[in-house]
A and B are shown apart, each in its own frame.
Chain A
Amino acid sequence: MDIVESLDSLMTDWLIIAGTILAAVSGVPGLWDDRKGTPGATSGERTATVLLVVGALCGIAGAALAIARPSAGIDLGWPVPGGRFAIHVDGISALFVVQIFLISALGSVYGLGYWKQSEHPRDGRKLRLFYGLITAGMTLLVCARNTMLFMAGWEIMALAAFLSLSAQDDQRPVREVGYVYMVATRLATLCLIAMFAVLSVATGSFDFAASRPITPGAGTAILILAIAGFGLKAGIMPMHVWLPGAHANAPSHVSALMSGVLIKMGIYGLVRVFSLFPHPPLWWGQLVLLFGGVSGVLGVAFAISQHDFKRLLAYHSVENIGIICMGLGVALLGRSLGNSALVALGLSGALLHVWNHGLFKGLLFLSAGSVLHATHTREIDELGGLAKRMPWTALGFLVGAVAICGLPPLNGFISELLVYLGLFRSAALPQGTLWLTGALGAPALALIGALALACFVKVHGAMFLGEPRSERTAGAAESSRFILVPMAVLAGLCFVVGLLPWVVAPILDRAVLAWAPELAGSGLRLMVLAPLSWVSLLGGLLLVALLLGVALVRRNLRQKPAEKVGTWDCGYVAPGPTMQYSSSSFAQTLVGLFSWALRPKVSKPDTRGLFPHPEAFTSNVADVVLDSILIPAAELGSRAVRWFRWVQRGSMQAYLLYILLTLLVLFFWR
């Protein structure tokens, strides 16, 4: 029995490692593909997908084993300074591993239809190579127990993501967002390097383990650096600056991977680092909760004002990261107070939302990509009526939209429910004024939910319902099955998690125990803490009731066939597609309500007089942090810096003078 068990736990790690390696090399065979490409899929494309899918199956199998029983871990020497090849898959890591491999494999299949070698002869091979490397880097980092190994995985992921998102580097906007991404990710890396330096000095080891208690000073430094570093990657407002542009301009399956999985690596990092602090100060949780609330509300507010549907989805990532951070904040509060229910609810909510966001945001980006592939435009106001032309894509997007709004009976509701429960429970806490944190958090989350609903009703309606608003939309056709099947899988999973939440509860329990081992004795289980069986039951009933209702309507319609007419439109004689309510007008009031943060640039038409000229109303919202603060500041900085350039003036006499002055200064200093 012992042998079997140890074999089993060994398998866990090696399965995941095998998956990682397969993912890493998946793009390599395709490098020798013919550049021109044949009309069908090349062998390289197929190989890449097959390798990645097989790797993903290995990895998911390994993670499943790890959830059943924690892995034995691998600990090999790694002769670089501070390095050990230490891999261990605990409940938290397993959760992330599953998500990484799932979305990545589906994205790879999607790529067969979306980014065909024959359509992208110049960058197809490159993209597939780096796509695999992103996957491998992420797996490595979530399994790493050594901080140096973590950094290696982190940077492989970051660089490979840069190279894949700038696949079409001949386009100027792609280059620009690539640069912003790279600068942001480097800042994150530097913060993390600093954090790990402090951590390793504080604990005396390079591992993710608090072998000795961390002093409060070091703890504060670690918290600030972790929020800065991981927050930059996760896209916590106001460190989200790279995210909208990058997600919008990357190929859609890369966007799905980045938004669905990659930014969660920041969350993973936060979770992992926080796990090292058994007694964090109270303000940590409040701070994280505050960051979460701000990201959530402002993220969705920015999303509503966007005209580019991929950019809109990107801002929703900021929002969802906010929700995840709120959960994390509740968990931290719970840990400070020793309140295990809060810890369990908050962390489970956060982690489940990580999963859910991967599912529905992946689905949304894939659907968006399908639309982009068919219409070649990202402008929402050029679309419309696609539900008739691309019914499956429309359905996929609808499922994603309902899920991301956190509506029952889909998965988004479950994780938001857990976070809500955590917030409500903390609002019921007896301590002083601490409960106010939760009391403000819950309405904030409600606001986020309502705003998200407004946004997704709008974008779904404007893209898929009504009449086409432009020529290219009118001619769109449904995408190939390579594109549709991954979407169907994700949509199905949204339903599974939403309807059968008790399946994931034990997985979350294990993750919570891995995070806060002190809960081991308390016997708290998520099934007890949260009404998951009720939700499951009601969700099922709701679904049945809806289907029943639809069936009744259909029967009724069969009996009394409906008359087909034009839209009534209050008696207009010839309502045209351009008269439809556009997404900009739909959002106008809300953008106005949030204009204090969004700072929209509005040009109002001047329609005075008897015969006004044709005018157009436009409203544009740039990213306030990036475009109004950071870029001008960088501009100023670079001008200031260039002022110093006169020292290198080409005159040798000046150069020699510098040497002389250095000597004099040093002699005086002596």
Chain B
Amino acid sequence: MLLVQILIPLLLGGLAFLVRSNLKRPWLLPLGGAGHLIGTCVVLLRNAPVTEGAWLGLDPLNKVVLGFLSLLFFLCSVYARGYLVLRPNQPNRYFTASLLAFLAMLTLAVEAQHLGLMWVAIESCTLSSAPLLYFNQNPRSLEATWKYMLIGSVGIALALLGSYFLAYSALHGGMSTSLFFPDLVREAPHLSHPWLRSAFILLFVGYGTKMGLAPMHSWKPDAYGEAPGLVGALLAGGLTTAAFLAILRFFQICTAAHDVAFARSMMVTLGLFSMAVAAVFMVRQRDYKRMLAYSSVEHMGILVLGIGIGGAGIFGSLLHLINNGLTKGVLFLAAANIHRCYGSKRVEDVSGAIRRLPVTGALFLAGFFAITGSPPFGPFFSEFTILRAAVAGGRFWVAGFFLLMLFVVFVGMSSTVFAVVQGEPSDKAKASDYKDNFFTVAPIIVFLSLVLLLGVYVPPPLSRALHAAAGFIEMNP
């Protein structure tokens, strides 16, 4: 069943090469997304445990991630249909096929229960996302793609080296040399600690590069800035999530090996550092898509910070994973609409979005409030949980710095967002023929409703699943 879920998008991706019409082809995307979502529902409901030696399997952790990713992709795919139709002259064959392949590989990365398989899947995600970034086929997007690929490849190479180290650590421990995660976790107490630590550094830096933690984040503003907004949403919500999942798996192994203090302090440090770097770049940011990229860096920092703090922070971090992904969906897609209408992503050229595009503009503003942690939107609760975990752990400086960074980010981000949203639209924008339509707006509304829902009502099954996942990571079932 899990395999089918991976194969369906792949098949549809192949089909994309056969469909001739540039306008009809995008329908494959919602189709694939819906199929995937249905498949996800089925596998989540079946709730099959991980079988011994299976390459794919669902444990408490990746169940949460899978459900979230499937939903994210479905909504983005609906948007993608609307977006691609707006650009009939841009060939979308490769784009459609790559998007579906990206989904397949992402699913594989999430479901993989084997260290090597997961690595291969994440690598494939990177590769399949290259054509997505290059959709606009101009020098800037080419540069962005090049940087994304090379930096991403170096990261993934480091992750491979880290995987070797981890394998060696098992080898040195004289254990069975299985690289299945359940086996690794079980055998973890016997792993060689020096190798394990080195492995974790390499894996953290490697997958951290994919995640976009500072200072390995440098590809992010370029890639998110130049790619279509929907790709930004998928990368910020999807690929980074897969990379984070990988880090969580190794964190779990460290926990199981009782050698987690170092990993924790590393995560806290890099988490706060990411927030600080993002804050620096968000002050007076004149490009609103790059701003979103830095916001993504910031939130990746919050995610690893939550894990590093531990305790309730892990739960907060997992909740934030979902909150952030969904909110990024709102922001990137709304930014894409604004970009489409104004033809520029510089603040100088864009103003009065809420007058020119009342729905998109309002959604963008709401998304901004959500991502900066305003109650009653979801991200507030996850950030508060992390903060409280820091306070409860007696890490007052961490908590203080965390809040300070949230404030600086807010100050920076709000001036950019307000400049975009408020004021009088330019004449050029008034003349633009872009109008909000169902496909370009409905997914954003759904995203925002979900973010709001997570702020006013975390469904108990989700809450249970998150607690289970947190318990799974912390090794206390």
Contact = CB atoms under 8 A, between A and B. Distances in A.
A569 interface: no
B410 A186 contact: yes
Given A197-B388, A201-B392, A670-B201, A166 B422 contact: yes
A169 B205 contact: no
A179 B376 contact: no
Interface string B19-32: 00000000000000
B384 A82 contact: yes
A197 B391 contact: yes
A166 B419 CA distance: 13
A662 B216 contact: yes
Interface string A192-206: 011011101100000
B283 A197 contact: no
Contacts of A471: none
Given A194-B399, A659-B155, A666-B201, A179 B463 contact: no
A622 interface: no
B460 A659 contact: no
Contacts of B205: 659, 662-663, 666
A524 interface: no
B338 interface: no
B458 interface: yes
Count chain A CB atoms within 10 A of each CB in B146, B418, B460, B463 and give the residue with the most. Answer: B418
B422 A648 contact: no
Contact of A79 (B155, B400, B457): B457
B281 interface: yes
Given A179-B415, A201-B388, A201-B392, A151 B380 contact: yes
A623 B459 CA distance: 48
Nearest to A166: B422
Contact of A122 (B204, B355, B392): B355
Given A169-B422, A641-B283, A670-B201, A189 B374 contact: yes
A178 interface: yes
Interface stretch (A45-53, A153-161, A278-286, A575-583): A153-161
Interface stretch (A62-70, A328-336, A586-594, A650-658): A650-658
Interface string B404-419: 0011001100110010
Contacts of A198: 391
Given A80-B458, A642-B283, A658-B216, A186 B418 contact: no
Contacts of B284: 638, 642
Interface string B21-50: 000000000000000000000000000000
A596 B463 CA distance: 57
A662 B147 CA distance: 18
Count chain A CB atoms within 10 A of each CB in B383, B391, B399, B407 and give the residue with the most. Answer: B391
A193 B280 contact: no
B197 interface: yes
Contact of A183 (B319, B387, B399, B410): B410
A276 interface: no
A197 B280 contact: no
Contacts of A156: 375-376
A183 B411 contact: yes
Given A80-B458, A193-B384, A638-B283, A662 B215 contact: yes
Contacts of B457: 78-80
A170 B424 contact: yes
A663 B202 contact: yes
Contacts of A648: 218, 221, 281
Q: Tell me the dominant secondary structure on chain A's binding face.
A: helix
A170 B351 CA distance: 10
A179 B458 contact: no
Count chain A CB atoms within 10 A of each CB in B315, B352, B403 and give the residue with the most. Answer: B403
Contacts of B283: 637-638, 641-642
Given A81-B384, A148-B381, A183-B410, A169 B403 contact: no
B438 to A, nearest CB: 19
A148 B375 contact: yes
Count chain A CB atoms within 10 A of each CB in B201, B219, B266, B454 and give the residue with the most. Answer: B201
Contacts, number: 160
A190 B266 contact: no
A187 B407 contact: yes
Contacts of B407: 186-187, 190
A152 to B, nearest CB: 4
Contacts of A201: 388, 391-392
A670 B387 contact: no
Interface in A149-183: 151-152, 154-156, 158-159, 166, 169-170, 175, 178-179, 182-183
A645 interface: yes
A155 B407 CA distance: 15
B384 A667 contact: no
A644 interface: yes
Interface residues of A, number: 56
Contacts of B454: 80
B241 interface: no
Q: Tell me the dominant secondary structure on chain B's binding face.
A: helix
A645 B387 CA distance: 28
B374 A79 contact: no
Interface in A277-328: none
B175 interface: no
B199 to A, nearest CB: 11
Contacts of A197: 384, 387-388, 390-391, 399
B291 to A, nearest CB: 13
Contact of B198 (A151, A158, A200, A670): A670
B4 interface: no
Contact of B215 (A79, A658, A667): A658
A193 B158 CA distance: 39
Contacts of A638: 283-284
Interface string B454-476: 11111110010000000000000
Contacts of B382: 81
Interface in A634-650: 634, 637-638, 641-642, 644-645, 647-648
B414 A645 contact: no
Contacts of A644: 280
Interface string A549-591: 0000000000000000000000000000000000000000000
B355 A190 contact: no
B91 interface: no
Contacts of B202: 663
A79 B463 contact: yes
Contacts of A169: 354, 422-423
B385 interface: yes
Count chain A CB atoms within 10 A of each CB in B315, B352, B374, B387 and give the residue with the most. Answer: B374
A186 B280 contact: no
A670 B384 contact: no
A656 B146 CA distance: 13
Contacts of B458: 79-81
B11 interface: no
A156 B380 CA distance: 13
Interface in A187-223: 187, 189-190, 193-194, 196-198, 200-201
Nearest to A155: B375
Nearest to A169: B422
B460 to A, nearest CB: 6
Instruction: Give the 4 A-B CB pairs with smallest separation, nearest first.
Output: A655-B218, A169-B422, A152-B376, A658-B215
25 contacts: A79-B457, A79-B458, A79-B463, A81-B312, A81-B382, A82-B388, A148-B381, A151-B375, A152-B376, A155-B374, A169-B422, A175-B422, A186-B410, A190-B403, A193-B383, A193-B384, A198-B391, A201-B392, A642-B283, A648-B221, A652-B147, A655-B219, A658-B216, A666-B205, A670-B262
Given A186-B414, A637-B283, 4 more contacts: A79-B457, A154-B375, A193-B383, A669-B266
Interface of A: 78-83, 122, 148, 151-152, 154-156, 158-159, 166, 169-170, 175, 178-179, 182-183, 186-187, 189-190, 193-194, 196-198, 200-201, 634, 637-638, 641-642, 644-645, 647-648, 652, 654-656, 658-659, 661-663, 666-667, 669-670
